[in-house]
Amino acid sequence: MLRVLGLLLVVWLVLTVIGAVVKGLFWLAVLGLVFFVATAALGWNKRHPELPGRRR
| Per-residue confidence (pLDDT) for residue 53, from 0 to 100 | 63
Taking a C-beta distance cutoff of 8 angstroms, is the pair 19, 29 a contact? Answer: yes
CB atoms within 10 A of CB 13: 15
Count of structural domains within the chain: 1
pLDDT of residue 55: 59
Assigned domain for 12 exists:
yes
Instruction: Give the pLDDT of residue 4.
Output: 87
Amino acid type, 1: M
Any domain includes 54:
no
List, for residues 1-56, the tens digit of each pLDDT value: 778 888 888 998 998 888 889 888 888 888 989 999 998 888 887 776 666 665 55
Assigned domain for 53 exists: no
Residue 51 forms part of a structural domain: no
15 part of a folded domain: yes
Note the pLDDT of residue 54.
Answer: 58
Q: Is 51 helix (H, G, I), strand (E, B) or coil?
A: coil
The conformation of residue 17, written as its DSSP 8-state character, comes to H
Q: What is the pLDDT of residue 47?
A: 75
Say whether 56 sits in a helix, a strand or coil.
Answer: coil
Query: Does a structural domain hold residue 35?
Result: yes
The CA-atom distances, in angstroms, between 2 and each of 7, 9, 46 are 9, 10, 8
Structural domain harbouring 17: 2-45
